[in-house]
Amino acid sequence: MPAARPHIEPRRVPTADSVVVKEIYLSLQGESSHAGLLCAFIRLTGCHLRCTYCDSEFAFHGGNRRKNADIVTEILALNTPAVEVTGGEPLLQPGVYPLMESLLDAGLKVLLETSGAIDVRLVPPAVHKIVDMKTPSSGECDRNDYRNLVSMNANDELKLVIGSREDYEWSRALITEHKLGSKPYSVLCSTIFDKLHPRELAEWIIEDRLPVRFQLQMHKYLWDPNARGV
């Protein structure tokens, strides 16, 4: 009989009490099922991926190390019910896990925007995780951690950012193979801004009756698409 495979526990939740922050601002949430709601953004510095289309390269470097407690105070002063932690790649910093706990303890709705390249099981369950599984034209699709498709829950959303017909067909195959239409979380499909016309994607979705929610990056239509802090 083959030896039983070892049961591996996720790493212990780290307890660092600070993170490196690129920017904090108040805006309207531009994406996800929370689109249109008042939302504060905490953008953390650093990313281990280099998506071809990244609109947040300015967050790869710089920023300031801040105590989690001071960040929570700053967010509460913005008087908003919701906060999104994004980046860069927020899950690269150990201090982000206790930061999300503190934001939840302060009574905030907490959203997390993360690439699909990191196992999300250590994220506090009450956080609304928006997990972006990278499509081929990102150039980072081989970094996806497909365990996330199993561990995500009803609070969460899987995001597919599509820039070509190839990306669309890749996404459609992912949805079929992993039966994503019957998961507890919903699947969001949007376009790479200025690469694929949103109407093309909308028409493909309709033609295939794809079980997804189409979305736009609303903030890029409200403000200059290159504007920072919106």
Ligand X SMILES: C[S@@+](CC[C@H](N)C(=O)[O-])C[C@H]1O[C@@H](n2cnc3c(N)ncnc32)[C@H](O)[C@@H]1O
Ligand Y SMILES: Nc1nc2[nH]cc(C(=O)O)c2c(=O)[nH]1
Task: Tell me which residues touch ligand SF4 (CB under 6 A).
Answer: 47, 49-51, 54, 56, 87-89, 115
Residue 148 site contact among ligand X, ligand SF4, ligand Y, none (CB < 5 to 8 Å, cut-off depends on kind): none
Q: Which of 86, 148, 191, 215 is close enough to bind ligand Y by CB under 6 A?
A: 86
Q: Residue 56 or 186: which CB sits closer to ligand Y?
A: 56
**In Å, what is the CA distance from 64 to each residue of 23, 94, 139, 151?**
9, 15, 29, 32
* 92: nearest Cα among 54, 147, 49, 126: 49
Q: Residue 51 or 131: which CB sits closer to ligand SF4?
A: 51
Contacts with 11 (C-beta within 8 Å, 6 or more apart), sequence order? 122
55 is in an annotated binding site: yes
**3-state class of 213 per DSSP?**
strand
86 is in an annotated binding site: yes
Other beta carbons less than 10 A from residue 170's beta carbon: 19
113 forms part of the interface with ligand X (CB under 6 A) = yes
**CA torsion through residues 69, 71, 75, 81, sign:** negative
**Residue facing ligand Y at closest CB distance:** 30
CA distance 156 to 128: 5
HSE on the CB side for 158, CA within 13 Å? 31
Q: Residue 26 or 141: which CB sits closer to ligand Y?
A: 26
54 is in an annotated binding site: yes
Minimum separation from the CB atom of position 144 to ligand Y (A): 18
224 is in an annotated binding site: no
Q: Which of 86, 137, 144, 148 is close enough to bind ligand X by CB under 6 A?
A: 86
CA distance 93 to 16: 9
Binding region for ligand X (CB under 6 A) = 47, 53-56, 86-87, 89, 113-115, 132, 159, 161, 192-193, 217
Annotated binding site: 28-30, 43, 47, 51, 53-56, 86, 88
Annotated binding site for Mg(2+): 56
